[in-house]
Amino acid sequence: MAIRNLRYEDDEILRKRSREIEVIDDRIKELAKDMLETMHKWDGLGLAGPQVGVLKRIIVIDLYEDGMQFVLINPVIVKEKGTQEVEEGCLSFPNKFGKVERPKEVVVEALDIDGRKVKLKAKDLLAQAVCHEIDHLNGILFTDKIKPGTLEIVNPSDKK
Protein backbone atom coordinates (compact mmCIF):
# COMPACT_ATOMS: atom_id res chain seq x y z
CA MET A 1 0.00 0.00 0.00
CA ALA A 2 1.08 3.56 -0.63
CA ILE A 3 -0.01 7.11 -0.13
CA ARG A 4 -0.97 8.56 -3.50
CA ASN A 5 -0.51 12.20 -4.47
CA LEU A 6 -3.73 14.18 -4.31
CA ARG A 7 -4.85 16.34 -7.22
CA TYR A 8 -5.94 19.85 -6.32
CA GLU A 9 -8.52 22.33 -7.55
CA ASP A 10 -6.77 23.64 -10.68
CA ASP A 11 -5.82 20.16 -11.96
CA GLU A 12 -7.70 19.53 -15.21
CA ILE A 13 -8.08 15.79 -14.45
CA LEU A 14 -10.71 16.72 -11.83
CA ARG A 15 -12.96 18.00 -14.66
CA LYS A 16 -12.79 14.81 -16.74
CA ARG A 17 -15.28 11.95 -16.76
CA SER A 18 -13.87 8.68 -15.44
CA ARG A 19 -14.01 5.43 -17.42
CA GLU A 20 -15.77 2.29 -16.27
CA ILE A 21 -13.63 -0.44 -14.79
CA GLU A 22 -13.90 -3.53 -17.01
CA VAL A 23 -11.80 -5.95 -14.92
CA ILE A 24 -11.14 -5.92 -11.19
CA ASP A 25 -7.57 -7.15 -11.14
CA ASP A 26 -4.72 -6.81 -8.64
CA ARG A 27 -3.95 -3.29 -9.88
CA ILE A 28 -7.51 -2.13 -9.10
CA LYS A 29 -7.40 -3.83 -5.69
CA GLU A 30 -4.08 -2.11 -4.95
CA LEU A 31 -5.55 1.21 -6.12
CA ALA A 32 -8.48 0.76 -3.70
CA LYS A 33 -6.12 0.05 -0.77
CA ASP A 34 -3.94 3.03 -1.70
CA MET A 35 -7.00 5.28 -1.94
CA LEU A 36 -8.22 4.21 1.51
CA GLU A 37 -4.75 4.79 2.97
CA THR A 38 -4.47 8.20 1.28
CA MET A 39 -7.95 9.22 2.45
CA HIS A 40 -7.14 8.17 6.03
CA LYS A 41 -3.84 10.07 5.99
CA TRP A 42 -5.71 13.31 5.22
CA ASP A 43 -8.72 12.53 7.50
CA GLY A 44 -11.16 12.42 4.60
CA LEU A 45 -14.53 10.67 4.49
CA GLY A 46 -14.30 9.79 0.82
CA LEU A 47 -12.01 9.76 -2.19
CA ALA A 48 -12.57 9.22 -5.91
CA GLY A 49 -10.17 7.92 -8.56
CA PRO A 50 -9.60 11.29 -10.26
CA GLN A 51 -8.46 12.81 -6.95
CA VAL A 52 -5.39 10.55 -7.12
CA GLY A 53 -4.95 11.04 -10.86
CA VAL A 54 -6.73 7.86 -12.01
CA LEU A 55 -9.67 8.32 -14.39
CA LYS A 56 -11.44 5.13 -13.33
CA ARG A 57 -14.89 4.83 -11.75
CA ILE A 58 -13.87 3.86 -8.22
CA ILE A 59 -14.69 5.55 -4.92
CA VAL A 60 -13.84 4.78 -1.32
CA ILE A 61 -15.76 5.99 1.73
CA ASP A 62 -15.13 5.60 5.45
CA LEU A 63 -17.43 7.21 8.00
CA TYR A 64 -15.15 5.93 10.79
CA GLU A 65 -17.94 3.86 12.31
CA ASP A 66 -17.99 0.07 12.57
CA GLY A 67 -18.82 -1.48 9.23
CA MET A 68 -19.07 1.84 7.45
CA GLN A 69 -16.10 1.53 5.06
CA PHE A 70 -16.90 1.06 1.37
CA VAL A 71 -15.12 0.48 -1.93
CA LEU A 72 -17.55 1.01 -4.80
CA ILE A 73 -16.63 0.29 -8.42
CA ASN A 74 -18.69 1.73 -11.28
CA PRO A 75 -21.25 3.19 -8.83
CA VAL A 76 -24.57 4.44 -10.23
CA ILE A 77 -27.27 6.27 -8.29
CA VAL A 78 -30.54 4.53 -9.15
CA LYS A 79 -32.86 6.31 -6.71
CA GLU A 80 -32.90 9.61 -4.79
CA LYS A 81 -35.28 10.77 -2.07
CA GLY A 82 -35.61 14.09 -0.26
CA THR A 83 -33.04 16.85 0.08
CA GLN A 84 -30.67 18.08 2.74
CA GLU A 85 -28.54 21.20 2.96
CA VAL A 86 -25.10 20.20 4.18
CA GLU A 87 -21.71 21.77 4.70
CA GLU A 88 -19.06 20.18 2.53
CA GLY A 89 -15.36 20.24 2.05
CA CYS A 90 -13.08 18.23 -0.22
CA LEU A 91 -9.55 16.86 0.00
CA SER A 92 -8.88 18.42 -3.42
CA PHE A 93 -9.92 21.84 -2.06
CA PRO A 94 -8.07 22.11 1.24
CA ASN A 95 -9.53 24.56 3.75
CA LYS A 96 -12.56 25.42 1.58
CA PHE A 97 -16.07 24.71 2.77
CA GLY A 98 -19.56 25.63 1.65
CA LYS A 99 -23.23 24.71 1.83
CA VAL A 100 -24.49 22.29 -0.83
CA GLU A 101 -27.88 20.67 -1.43
CA ARG A 102 -27.72 16.88 -1.66
CA PRO A 103 -30.31 14.09 -1.65
CA LYS A 104 -31.25 12.94 1.86
CA GLU A 105 -31.34 9.30 0.71
CA VAL A 106 -29.92 7.44 -2.28
CA VAL A 107 -29.75 3.91 -3.57
CA VAL A 108 -26.53 3.06 -5.38
CA GLU A 109 -25.71 0.00 -7.46
CA ALA A 110 -22.03 -0.88 -7.88
CA LEU A 111 -19.49 -3.68 -7.77
CA ASP A 112 -17.51 -4.43 -4.62
CA ILE A 113 -13.77 -5.12 -4.62
CA ASP A 114 -14.45 -8.80 -5.43
CA GLY A 115 -16.62 -7.94 -8.44
CA ARG A 116 -19.92 -8.80 -6.76
CA LYS A 117 -22.95 -6.61 -7.48
CA VAL A 118 -23.97 -4.60 -4.44
CA LYS A 119 -26.86 -2.29 -3.69
CA LEU A 120 -26.19 0.36 -1.06
CA LYS A 121 -29.02 2.24 0.60
CA ALA A 122 -27.52 5.40 2.03
CA LYS A 123 -28.97 8.31 3.97
CA ASP A 124 -27.77 11.49 5.65
CA LEU A 125 -23.93 11.69 5.80
CA LEU A 126 -23.38 8.49 3.81
CA ALA A 127 -25.73 9.69 1.06
CA GLN A 128 -23.87 13.01 1.00
CA ALA A 129 -20.48 11.31 0.73
CA VAL A 130 -21.61 8.91 -2.00
CA CYS A 131 -23.08 11.74 -4.09
CA HIS A 132 -19.98 13.92 -3.61
CA GLU A 133 -17.65 11.11 -4.75
CA ILE A 134 -19.82 10.04 -7.70
CA ASP A 135 -19.85 13.69 -8.81
CA HIS A 136 -16.04 13.48 -8.93
CA LEU A 137 -16.31 10.54 -11.34
CA ASN A 138 -18.36 12.77 -13.64
CA GLY A 139 -16.01 15.76 -13.46
CA ILE A 140 -18.36 17.70 -11.15
CA LEU A 141 -16.85 19.42 -8.12
CA PHE A 142 -18.54 20.46 -4.91
CA THR A 143 -17.56 24.06 -5.66
CA ASP A 144 -19.90 23.88 -8.68
CA LYS A 145 -22.80 23.29 -6.30
CA ILE A 146 -22.02 25.65 -3.43
CA LYS A 147 -24.92 27.94 -2.55
CA PRO A 148 -23.95 31.54 -3.31
CA GLY A 149 -22.48 33.37 -0.36
CA THR A 150 -21.64 30.24 1.67
CA LEU A 151 -18.05 29.58 0.56
CA GLU A 152 -15.66 29.80 3.51
CA ILE A 153 -11.88 29.62 3.32
CA VAL A 154 -10.47 28.49 6.64
CA ASN A 155 -6.89 29.28 7.52
CA PRO A 156 -5.51 26.12 9.19
CA SER A 157 -3.77 28.25 11.83
CA ASP A 158 -7.18 29.66 12.87
CA LYS A 159 -8.26 26.25 14.18
CA LYS A 160 -6.01 26.38 17.25
Max Cα distance, the chain (Å): 46
CB distance 57 to 75 below 8 Å:
yes
Q: What's at 69, amino acid-wise?
A: Q
CB atoms within 10 A of CB 94: 14
Q: Active site includes 133?
A: yes
Rounded distance, CA 43 to CA 140, Å? 22
- State phi, psi for 32 to the nearest 5 degrees: -60, -45
Q: What is the DSSP letter of 83?
A: -
CA distance 20 to 78: 17
The catalytically annotated residue of 9, 109, 133, 152 is: 133
Q: What positions carry a catalytic annotation?
A: 133
